[in-house]
Amino acid sequence: MTNIEDAREFYARLMAANAASPDPRLEEVFASVPREAFLGPGPWTIVAGKGQITTPSADPVHLYQNVLVALDADKGINNGEPFLHAMWIGKIAPKPGESVTHIGAGSGYYTALLANLVLPGGTVTAFELDKDLAGRARKNLEAYGNVAVVHGDAVTSPLPPSDIIYVNAGVVAPPAAWLKALRPGGRMIFPWRPAESVPFAVIVTRTEKGFACDPFMRSWFIPCVGASTVDPAAKIPTRDQAARSRSIWLIEDRPPDRTATAVLGDVWFSSRHLDATSEVDTSRPGPKI
């Protein structure tokens, strides 16, 4: 049988290699945070394709691969794909001392990884709407003194000023309040789902000139309650238009212009780079995603 420490170390190497992050701490945190501590007692239900299978035993070695583990099968909630989260965390690049807001924390596994990466001095505020999952996350994260778990709605609740906002539920568009909560230089990563055929992961960076955005890969998460309904007056992007988006604007600050790729609630997406000097569409072709 494989030693659990060996399994964790190899899993961590796989995560770091998939993330292609220059930060060696990413491998360290994946090796040091026990995934089984956040999944309840085994055997565990693994989501595979459109079905489910059960691990042959409660040996946690089964968890140290790129598998989706069900947290609430009836609600379609799982622990998330480790490869995807490793890539996202590497891309968002948490640094010691930063403040993170984690929206859709589930049972807290990826919250724990983020919490370790912002030490020393950093904090994580973890929002979870589901009462049972919030309770599990609070218990699972008791040993993490820099984490506060909030059972509440991150769409209607004020977010703390954040260097990173890490969103694990699909939104039609990020609420304006989330963008405003980003500190200068802050980053937000979220699953953008303005239409069924437009499933992107987007990273937003707050700069001196505004909010730069980059739709960088396909992504699908369960819908975010309160932020997943499309207004009938919205301008819904095609997949190509969404992929060409390079900035996000608050309508209260700047009305949509001819570069608008999407107009959704109180924000709009533009193909205009922040360093462009006119409304001319200067974007490069979008990624083939």
Give the model confidence (pLDDT) of 198-209 as tens digits: 889 999 999 999
Whether 287 has a pLDDT exceeding 70, the answer reads: no
111 Ramachandran zone, left/alpha/beta (phi>0; psi -120 to 50): alpha
| Beta carbons within 8 Å of 5's beta carbon, 6+ residues apart | none
Task: Map tokens 């140290």 to a residue.
Answer: 64
pLDDT of 136: 97
pLDDT of 226: 74
d(CA 84, CA 110): 11
Q: Point out the least confidently predicted range of 23-32, 82-91, 159-168, 222-231.
A: 222-231
pLDDT of 2: 66
Whether 74 has a pLDDT exceeding 90, the answer reads: no
Mean pLDDT along residues 51-62: 95
pLDDT of 200: 94
pLDDT of 228: 74
**Which has the closest alpha carbon to 124: 94, 99, 106, 150?**
99
**Which has the closest alpha carbon to 173: 105, 231, 212, 124?**
231
Per-residue confidence band for 227, with pLDDT thresholds at 50, 70 and 90: confident
pLDDT of 17: 95
Mean pLDDT along residues 215-235: 82
pTM of the predicted structure, to 2 decimals: 0.93
d(CA 245, CA 153): 28
Whether 215 has a pLDDT exceeding 50, the answer reads: yes
Long-range pairs for 180-185 at CB < 8 Å and ≥24 separation?
180/250, 181/101, 182/206, 182/211, 183/99, 184/208
**Residues of the chain above pLDDT 70, percent:** 95
Whether 280 has a pLDDT exceeding 90, the answer reads: no
Q: Work out the mean pLDDT of the chain and round it to a whole number.
A: 92
pLDDT in tens, 39-49: 999 999 999 88
pLDDT of 9: 96
pLDDT of 288: 46
Per-residue confidence band for 277, with pLDDT thresholds at 50, 70 and 90: low
